[in-house]
Amino acid sequence: MGVTIDDIKKLKELTGIGLTDAKKALVEADGDFDKALEAMRKKGITKAEKKGDRETREGLIESYVHSDRIGVVVEVNCETDFVARLPEFKEFAHQIAMQIAAMAPKYSTIEDVPAADYDAKKQELLESDALKSKPADMADKIVEGQLKKHFAELVLSEQTFVLDDSMTVGQRIKEQIAKSGENIRVSQFKRIELGVTE
């Protein structure tokens, strides 16, 4: 397969890398665009994980209202005011607000789940009738899987991304970190649904 200038530009736009790096990735993938994109995503996510500890003091507050029935306000942080003002960052924050409107998470990351809530759910699952006949080590593994599934629905970063079900929200955040070159985090959000009180 040949490497086309259109593919180079497209890869650059999707990953935020330079034209030279985009061309190099496509050459290494023998012109296979999907293979090159996957390789760049993996590299970007690795770099994003290294940026994950850097402080995020800038950002913006984004809001989204769906059908006049669901409203979301979300704070998305980055490292600099420059990145916070970029249209791509605003679009990313908007996507996160839409995710919260659609999927109603309770927590931003798994670390935000109160230990008491996590332990209570774990205990409840361990005491279920279905596990009483299982050996202890097998029961623990089953419960770990059930806990992961349970909190995947409640934790924003663990949810399947509504605009691309091939990734989680956490992976989408890492992708944005790779594109912007800065650490990004969703620090707080509030979701209001008409007629529903918490």
DSSP bridge pairs for 65? 71
Least confident segment among 5-9, 77-81, 113-117? 5-9
- In CATH, what number does 58-109+155-193 get? 3.30.479.20
pLDDT interval class at 53 (50, 70, 90): low
Would you say 126 and 147 are in contact if contact means Cβ atoms under 8 Å apart? Answer: no
CATH class of 114-154: mainly alpha
- With vertex at residue 16, the alpha carbon angle to CA 21 and CA 31, rounded to the nearest 5 degrees, is 45
Least confident segment among 96-110, 128-142, 148-162? 128-142
| CATH architecture under which domain 5-51 falls | Orthogonal Bundle (1.10)
Using CA atoms, how far apart are residues 51 and 174, in angstroms rounded to an integer?
9
Does residue 48 carry a pLDDT above 90?
A: no
Provide mean pLDDT across the span 48-77: 84
Would you say 182 and 83 are in contact if contact means Cβ atoms under 8 Å apart? Answer: yes
Would you say 165 and 46 are in contact if contact means Cβ atoms under 8 Å apart? Answer: no
pLDDT interval class at 25 (50, 70, 90): confident
Least confident segment among 22-26, 38-42, 149-153, 186-190? 38-42
Using CA atoms, how far apart are residues 126 and 139, in angstroms rounded to an integer?
7
Provide mean pLDDT across the span 46-54: 53
User: pTM of this prediction?
Assistant: 0.68
Domain residues of the chain, as ranges? 5-51, 58-109+155-193, 114-154
- Scanning the structure block, which residue is given the tokens 């059908």? 67
Give the model's pLDDT for residue 14. 67
CA 67 to chain centre: 24
